[in-house]
Structure 1
Amino acid sequence: MLTLVLWIFKALNWLVSAYILLIVVYALLSWLPGGYQSRFGQIVGRLVEPFLRYFEFISLGPIGFGPVVAIVVLSLVQYGLQALQIMILNLLFT
């Protein structure tokens, strides 16, 4: 039971970290001419843009801070998952 709980939280943590990395790659693609139009850019865009739409309102002129806020939100989710893991482990061992 313990190994299953640890494996689930480790997998969720890895997925959130991978998604944060995808957001960073998506933001860096904006620096490349035609980055979003490449096949790789289209795949990353399909994975990241639905989540980033929630944060489109955060901009200062032409500079958008949506990816930064999205990364902060996902980092908070990671911290929440870690806290939940610790709580569950404490319940199992007490």
Structure 2
Amino acid sequence: MNIFWQIVYLVLWAFYMLLIGRLLLEFVRMFARSWMPSGRSAIAVESVYTVTDPPVKALRRLIPMVRIGGFALDLSLIILFLVLSWLLLPLVASLAISAL
């Protein structure tokens, strides 16, 4: 059972790293609107969005965007990031360690 929790932790950690990458890509798209990835970077960007889109889109359906003046703030990516970092990763890490 220990190896199972270690694999779950590894998968969640990899997803966490991809969420950080997506957060960085969102900032790049926000500040450099004319930036278009090409070649290998386009493949990397597409893979990050392909992996992280399903949970982010599911949360977008549950959590409405917050309107602040003339723009809307999307909290789904931030909430997914916080849930993963504060709840899931520590919980699975403790399960992987306790199974030793």
Report the TM-score range of the alignment, normalised by the length of the smaller protein.
0.5 to 0.7
Deviant stretches of 4+, over 4 Å = none
Q: Which residue of 1 aligns with 2:34?
A: 34
Tell me: higher relative CO, structure 1 or 2? Use CA pairs within 8 A at least 6 residues apart.
2
| 2:9 alignment partner AA | F
- Relative to the length of structure 1, the TM-score reads 0.59
Q: How much identity, in percent, do the aligned residues show?
A: 8
- Relative to the length of structure 2, the TM-score reads 0.57
Q: Which residue of 1 aligns with 2:77?
A: 70
Q: Which runs of 5+ in 2 are unaligned?
A: none
For residues 36-94 of structure 1, what are the alpha-carbon distances to aligned partners after superposition, in whole Å with 9 as ceiling and x for unaligned? xx244x8379546662671561231233331x55224322223222213314543x35x
| 1:15 alignment partner AA | F
1:48-59 map, 5 Å: 51=56, 54=60, 57-59=65-67
Whether the 8 Å contact between 1:16 and 1:78 is mirrored in structure 2 is yes
Q: Which residue of 1 aligns with 2:12?
A: 12
Aligned length: 88
- Alignment RMSD, CA only? 3.3
